[in-house]
Amino acid sequence: MLTLPQSVAGDWIMSSSTRLLLGRLRGLRFNAGGLFQSELSGVRRYSVITDRCTRNLHCVESCLREAIHPAPGEPGFGELKQLFIDPDQCIGCGSCLSACENAAIFDIAELPEALRRFAELNAAYYAQDRGLSFHFRS
């Protein structure tokens, strides 16, 4: 049995090769920062911003992957009514959920049915950067 030392915070201290090995054994995929996404369920975890967003930027400041845009100075910041999370960049860590004072951000698995369109809206915002069109529907 493989045992690993733990830090004071309780996080595993691992080399990148150990993370890769354990990730394959446990069905987890670790990113370069040591955070992981579960692939056991076949559903990738990520967060979604809804229309409750007030653009106070707390989520942008808390995001570990810089997956929330547009930020101040970026195209669209002044025109759009809300911010968006890139589902391809988000690792589902939940730091933005904790930072949001308006409860505008949901984990995709906990997104209420009435707000499901915002998952598509978040993805569509980033699709425009990848050469696809984006139309904001209220």
Q: What is the pLDDT of residues 48-86, one digit of tens each?
A: 999 999 999 999 999 999 999 999 999 989 999 999 999
Q: What is the pLDDT of residues 79-127, one digit of tens each?
A: 999 999 999 899 999 999 999 999 999 999 999 999 999 999 998 998 8
CB 14 within 8 A of CB 34: yes
Q: CA–CA separation, 114 vs 111, rounded Å? A: 8
* Reported pTM: 0.65
CATH number of 47-129: 3.30.70.20
- Unique residue bearing structure tokens 């045992």: 3
pLDDT at 133 over 70: no
Give the helix, strand, coil percentages of the chain, each rounded to 5: 30, 15, 60
Question: Domain extents for the chain?
Answer: 1-41, 47-129
